[in-house]
Chains A and B, each alone.
Chain A
Amino acid sequence: MASRSGFFSVVAKELKRVFTDRRMVLTVVLLPGILIFVMYSIMGEALGRLYQVDEDYRAQAYAVNLPASFEALSEPAGLAFSEAGAGEVAGIKADIAEGSSDLLVVFPADFEASISAALSGSPGGPGGPGSPGGTIPDVQVFFNAGNIESYAAFEITAALLDAYKNAALPLFSVNAADEEFNLAAGSDNPATMYLSSVLPMLILLLLFSGGMGIATESIAGEKERGTIATLLVTPLKRWELAFGKIVSISVVALASGTSSFLGIMLSLPKLLTTEMMGVSGEGLSFGYGFGEYALLFVVIVATVLLFVGVISIVSAFAKTVKEASTLTMPLMILVIFVSLSGLIFPGGQSDWWVYLIPAYNSTQCLNGIFSFNIESWQVLITVCVNVLATGLCVFFLTRMFNNERIMFAR
């Protein structure tokens, strides 16, 4: 009778086939990551030159105690400030955080007077640098780095203040206080914005293409070469063969996907070091903790099992690897279409039924995880649905392995 370890033998054989073959390790595991790293690094360079704020855009900028001399400087630079009172500061800061306003500059009440006094050498100016123990007047600039327009306005203001400061050096400072001036929420930083919209698509595509290469070879290839018939004439149970194939191919697809993912993460600093972000690559922080990575792993595993299950069924139908690759292409297009939904509905959807749709639920979950907008029930439903769908794939693949017309068709 069949050995109990039939399933494990199949898994071990399939993994040995890939991981002890230097050529397979190179093409399936290493190359995807290396290629992505090189490609994205080049893309980062190109994107940096392309991404700019619309020239016609007028920033929603507010200033408290706006000095006339600074206003005269800022207007030619395309930055028109609206006057605001000290009491409005909290409200404007909230607007900036929300994205409805771009910038708030708070000057000290006696800013111009103290600068003039200092320049004329009068020690009497309040807080004048000339006065021993006096404090340097501080200009506060609030902005939101997650908002491109806000960040652009900040950059202009900072440059203007720099010029102003150089003329009056060192009569005042900018943002010297120990306070958070970038009002973007943790999830709003440019890196997480990028990750939550683009990465789900990339991850799904990489997982699918990783599974596609190896599943077509492992199932259609074995059919084509006649080696699967040698297995079918042993007491090995068909479900053990089907499940063993799906699990082992998934492991390889995960390895391939991980390589690609590392390629993306390592090239991100270069990709995001652009003028649009104004973020130094080395200083990038995504703010993801163990929880996010654990959820990410669970969703990815459930998704790759599903993908491999579906590709395996298509591969079992095909007579040759070539035919299997051709038949898998429409599925690839479907995955592209589904994964694009991450761009259409960024941040994850809250309707529960969305998570009942295999593959689409994965996009929504990844989206939610990357934008810190995920609920545990969403992940739970997604994993359950995708594992159940994989179970159905194992069932159908088992039936196909039992079907002589499919397995021995000429």
Chain B
Amino acid sequence: MSEPRKALIRAQGLSKTFKLGAKQQRIERTRERVRVAVDDLSFEAYAGEIYGLLGPNGAGKTTTLRLLATLIRPDAGDALLAGKSVVQEPEAVRATIGFLTSELKLEDFFTPNYLFDFFSTLQGVDPSVAAARKDVLFKRFGINEFAEVKVGELSTGMKQKTSLVIAVVHDPDIIIFDEPTNGLDVITAKVVTDYLQELRGAGKTIILSTHIFSLVEKLCDRVGIIIDGRMVADGRLDGVCAGSSLEDRFFELYVQESGEVA
């Protein structure tokens, strides 16, 4: 009998609402005061796999990832990351994750070299370990020759690579990645997706959000489809698709949930 797989991410009934301000109500032409961003979301992601959250814009993917990264707190439910609760032990959760999103920026004034050391210190990485890791990662992503160039002067691709490297200074077991290839040129996008597969091979748990079907098909072992904050399908990619293409299956589910594709 095979050993049961280890769920490193276990979301249980996660819910999150946001109050809409008067300005937001005007923009969206709505009278509702509260917007449900995530509604009773439960799923699991295991060690050594890439889990994809697939959904249209505004479905609640980013909110879910921010809840997992402890940047925001759930109104209800909880999520355990490596056994630590995002509600009870947010600091412990932060030490086990690497979170990467276009929302998180690096200060333009500093160099990749300085930032790597700075974030290593914040993550409590031993300086000798940090130095060895920096050597490997900078070489792996071609950052070496830009190590002393200020972030503000780097190309978009090099900035993204630096952000990725800095997100994993502490060699986290869980990597949370919001729209990993958004805004990247094809070369950098390939470098990033290759690295995610490499991390999976190293036994890490990766959860990413995207609205790109091909990315899910290429990278993800399991997928959760979110529409209007609700998880409408969750499981292994082949199981969710049930013989259809992912795109066809997604729109089938979308029509079931939202009526029609407007």
The minimal Cβ–Cβ distance linking B106 to chain A, given in whole angstroms, is 6
- Distance A382 CA – B105 CA, assembled complex (angstroms): 40
Residues of B within 8 A of A236 (CB): 122
- Chain B proximity of A217: nearest CB distance (Å): 11
Contact of A230 among B104, B114, B123 (CB under 8 A): B104
What is the minimal beta-carbon distance from A349 to any residue of chain B, in angstroms? 45
Please name the residue on chain B nearest to A17 by beta carbon: B109
Q: Which of A13, A235, A404, A408 contacts B123 (CB 8 A)?
A: A235
The verdict on A9 contacting B104 (CB below 8 Å), with A2-B91, A17-B109 known, is no
- Residue B107 interfacial (CB < 8 Å): yes
- In the complex, whether A21 has a CB less than 8 A from a CB of chain B is yes
Report if B232 contacts A (CB, 8 A). no
B114 vs chain A, min Cβ distance (A): 8
Contact call B105/A231, Cβ cutoff below 8 A: no
Tell me if A232 and B71 are in contact (CB < 8 A). yes
Please pick, from B91, B106, B121, the residue contacting A227 in the complex, using a CB distance under 8 A: B106
Check: A376 CB closer than 8 A to any chain B CB: no
Q: Are B69 and A233 in contact (CB under 8 A)?
A: yes
For window 1-35 of chain A, which residues contact chain B by CB distance below 8 Å?
1-3, 5-6, 9, 13, 16-17, 21
Within 8 A of A (CB), among B106-160: 106-110, 114, 118-119, 121-124
CA distance in complex: A13, B122 (Å): 11
A1 close to B92 (CB less than 8 A): yes
Task: Number of A interface residues at 8 Å Cβ cutoff, please give it.
Answer: 25
Q: Are A404 and B71 in contact (CB under 8 A)?
A: yes
Contact pick for A235, options B95, B103, B105, B107, CB 8 Å: B95
CB within 8 A of A233: which of B71, B73, B106, B118?
B71
Which DSSP category, helix, strand, loop or mixed, fits chain B's interface? loop
Chain A neighbourhood of B103, CB < 8 A? 226, 229
Closest to B18 in A: A405
Which A residues are in CB contact (< 8 Å) with B71?
229, 232-233, 404, 408
B94 in contact with A226 (CB, 8 Å) = no
- The closest CB in chain A to the CB of B120 belongs to A3
A85 → B minimal CB distance (Å): 77
The yes or no answer to A225 lying at the interface (CB within 8 A) is yes
In angstroms, Cα B163 to Cα A139, docked, is 84
Partner of B105, one of A3, A226, A237: A226
A226 touching B104 by the CB < 8 A rule?
A: yes
B70 at the interface (CB under 8 A from A): yes
Q: Does A69 contact B (CB under 8 A)?
A: no
Which of B95, B105, B107, B122 has most chain A Cβ within 10 Å? Answer: B122
| Contact (A9, B122) CB under 8 Å given A17-B109, A232-B71, A233-B71 | yes
Which residues of A lie under 8 Å from residue B99 when comparing CB positions?
Answer: 233
A9 to B110, CA, bound (A): 14
Q: Does A234 contact B (CB under 8 A)?
A: yes
Question: 1/0 contact trace for A238-271 toward B, CB 8 Å?
Answer: 0000000000000000000000000000000000
List of A residues within 8 angstroms of B91 by Cβ: 1-2, 235, 237
Candidate in A1, A234, A235, A236 with the most chain B CB atoms within 10 angstroms: A234
- A260 CB to nearest B CB, Å: 25
Chain A proximity of B105: nearest CB distance (Å): 4
Question: Complex Cα distance A2/B93, Å?
Answer: 11
Chain B: minimal CB distance from A233 (Å): 5
> B109 near A235 (CB under 8 angstroms)?
no
User: Is B72 positioned at the interface, with any CB of A under 8 Å from its CB?
Assistant: yes
Q: Which residues of B contact A16 (CB under 8 A)?
A: 110, 114
The answer to whether B123 and A234 touch across the interface, beta carbons within 8 angstroms, is yes
Bound Cα distance from A13 to B70, whole angstroms: 24
Q: Which residues of B contact A3 (CB under 8 A)?
A: 121-124
> In the assembled complex, how far is the CB of residue B179 from the closest CB belonging to chain A, in whole angstroms?
15
What chain A residues lie within 8 Å of B69 (beta carbons)? 233
Nearest-CB distance from B67 to chain A (Å)?
A: 10
Minimum Cβ distance to chain B for residue A404 (Å): 4
Contact A1 B95 (CB under 8 A): yes
| Distance A11 CA – B11 CA, assembled complex (angstroms) | 36
Residues of B within 8 A of A230 (CB): 104-106, 166
A400 to chain B: closest CB distance in Å? 14
A43 to nearest B CB, angstroms?
Answer: 36
Chain A, 353-410, CB within 8 A of any chain B CB: 404, 408
* Alpha-carbon distance between A404 and B118 when the two chains are bound, in angstroms: 24
- Inter-chain contacts of B123 with A (CB < 8 A): 3, 234-235
Q: Which residues of A contact B108 (CB under 8 A)?
A: 225
Return chain B residues, CB-CB under 8 Å to A21: 109
CA–CA, A6 to B73, complex, Å? 23
Which residues of chain B have C-beta atoms less than 8 A from A1's C-beta? 91-92, 95, 124
Q: Cα distance A99–B260 when bound, in Å?
A: 93
Interface centre among B69, B104, B110 (most CB of A within 10 A): B104
A and B contact pairs by CB, cutoff 8 A, 8 listed: A3-B122, A6-B122, A9-B121, A21-B109, A229-B105, A230-B106, A235-B94, A235-B123
Rank and list the top 8 A-B pairs by shortest CB-CB distance, nearest first: A3-B124, A226-B105, A235-B95, A404-B72, A230-B104, A234-B122, A235-B94, A9-B121
